[in-house]
Amino acid sequence: MTPRSRSNYTAPIWNKPAQLLCAALVGTSLVSAASAQQISTPVDETEVTETIEISSHFGRNGALTERELEMARTAWSYFVDAYQEETGLVNSVARFPSTTMWDTASYISGLVAAYELGIIDKRTFDDRAMRLLATLRNLPLFRGEAPNKVYNTQTGERVDYTNEPGEIGYSANDIGRLLVWLRVLAERYPYLANAADNVPLRWNFCNMIDERGRIQGTFVGGDGATRYVQEGRLGYEEYAAKGFALWGFDVRGALEAEPLAYSRIYDIDVPHDGRDPRVYRSQNYVLTESYLLDGLELGWDLPTADPDGPGFASQGWRAEFAYRVFAAQERRFEATGVVTARSEHQVEGSPFFVYDTIFADGYAWNTLDPSGEYQPDRAAVSAKAALGMWALWDDPYTDLLFETVADISIADRGFYEGVYENGNGVIPLRTANNNGIILASLLYKAQGPILQYVNDNTRYWHTAFGEEIRETRCLPQPQVIERTCCACNGVEDLTPALAWDEFRFCQPVMREHGIGATNCSPEEQLFEAPAPRVVAPLSCPAPWANQ
């Protein structure tokens, strides 16, 4: 198909100083968002000159074009080529029969998008979904606790990163992402909810969430003992924590944007984790991916149903930070001419994988391998990052990103990882994560945030097992409590567990050349701990029963 024509990129006139970028998801479909206290910026309300119409969701809206549909078919072809029918799993990288829970979640995102976009029929969707859920339900766990970091896709057995048998720990970040997509399945397709619920019901969460509400992963020490460590840094930690919160876990410690620091990059205060890697021995990578996933899948919302719909981000600081990460990359292009869309990605040959960052280890545009070595020749325009930003921000720069990666694919094998910044061509690797996020980006354009709260049925997740077993596995307790008053007529007087009027939102502010900022309330935004919902009793004893 002939690529569509486009004019040369022109820097948008709405670029403003960083202090005006309070949740400014600037573009042709900019919307308002909530903001946390530490990033709020008061704006003179007299500058508002007209009412802003809010589109149905952030960024691009509408049915896919034929070209975009063809891209979706190409991305789906990866999951046909890399599918393992015996287990229902998909290889993380092309023909290498190994996967992680993160990449399995990316496969689910591709499966949902392919079905919703009409690329596969319901019979294919159901067969694949049920086969996968059955395998996940029966995976051998790491020391009886939770899914191992890696599995062989042909056998479903625990392996190490070389695909040799072994237990190497579990990743709380990967599990959090899988929990997001299991909840998507349970909400969008109620007939799959029981199967989805049965997957995490086998896991033991007691060591996965600490007393401060932070999530923990594990590794195996040199002595063979299990080591538990806090997992995740700003960006990834909060996204993964939302996966746990969606299932009723109290992870408020992991949802907070603390400790928080900023580094100024092209006049943008780019947020990053404030923990020093030299002290904590964990890098503070600033990457596009975690913020993209939060926007595409959850609409930058708190992990609860949002009564104001997809045009508002109820966790506004996430939308704010996502925009800053995007804006810094756009400004780099304006200043240097280097097309920029950075994320983590695979590379051919050693070191096999890099974190291609906006900021890490004290430096902007730092490309590091897992050992911390600088790998500047491996910097690339990530296909998933480019198309994710294209979906979430409708402006000329994301049109350029789209054209940069739209055709780097094999028609019946899927998209390549990206294009090297140094001119060395495409990264000749195809992965589940890349193709799954590309499909999610295209579905987002058509439907908006992918998690939809549409299943009002009683969930097996909340009713399975007695209190003792739930306590043993540290599962959330049932979230429904009958009140004792039988004389009351209804439940209208009951206080909701989460008072929505406690939240405040930013409002768009019109400037001379369009929307330049939003007016953010200085009030702090908090996510309440899960609390039981009090309901009226189903029956009451007869008046004489207690006499």
Question: In which band, very low, low, confident or very high, does the pLDDT at 228 lie, cut at 50, 70 and 90?
Answer: very high
pLDDT > 70: percent of the chain = 77
- Residue 431 φ then ψ, to 5°: -135, 160
SS3 103: helix
Query: Which pLDDT value is given to residue 5?
Result: 30
Least confident of 19-28, 239-248, 272-281: 19-28
CATH number for 66-452 (one of 1.25.40.10, 3.30.390.30, 1.10.565.10, 1.50.10.140): it is: 1.50.10.140
How far apart CA 247 and CA 461 sit, in angstroms, is: 8
For strands 480-482 and 533-535, give the pairing.
parallel
Half-sphere exposure of 162 (CA within 13 A, CB side): 3
CB atoms within 10 A of CB 138: 12
Instruction: Indicate if the pLDDT at residue 484 is higher than 70.
Output: no
Instruction: Indicate if the pLDDT at residue 6 is higher than 60.
Output: no
Nearest to 479, CA basis, from 496, 501, 455: 496
Round the average pLDDT of the chain to a whole number and report it: 83
Tokens at 120, concatenated: 């596969």
Burial status of residue 539 (CB atoms within 10 A of its CB: 0-12, 13-18, 19 or more): exposed
How far apart CA 280 and CA 201 sit, in angstroms, is: 32
Report whether 404 contacts 386 (CB < 8 A). Answer: yes
Question: In which band, very low, low, confident or very high, does the pLDDT at 487 lie, cut at 50, 70 and 90?
Answer: very low
pLDDT digits (tens, 9 = 90+) for 169-190: 999 999 999 999 999 999 999 9
SS3 92: coil
Query: Which pLDDT value is given to residue 305?
Result: 87
- Residue 356 φ then ψ, to 5°: -95, 95
Tokens at 469, concatenated: 């077993």
Helix (H) or strand (E) holding 353: strand 353-356
Q: 121's torsion region: left (phi>0), alpha (psi -120 to 50) or beta?
A: beta
Instruction: Indicate if the pLDDT at residue 404 is higher than 90.
Output: yes
- Residue 268 φ then ψ, to 5°: -110, 130
pLDDT digits (tens, 9 = 90+) for 36-80: 333 333 334 343 334 334 458 999 999 999 999 999 999 999 999
Instruction: Indicate if the pLDDT at residue 486 is higher than 60.
Output: no
**pTM, entire model:** 0.82
Instruction: Indicate if the pLDDT at residue 410 is higher than 60.
Output: yes
For strands 98-99 and 151-152, give the pairing.
antiparallel
Q: How far apart are the first and last CA of the chain?
A: 83
Instruction: Indicate if the pLDDT at residue 12 is higher than 90.
Output: no
- Residue 178 φ then ψ, to 5°: -60, -40
Question: In which band, very low, low, confident or very high, does the pLDDT at 16 lie, cut at 50, 70 and 90?
Answer: very low
- Residue 386 φ then ψ, to 5°: -60, -50
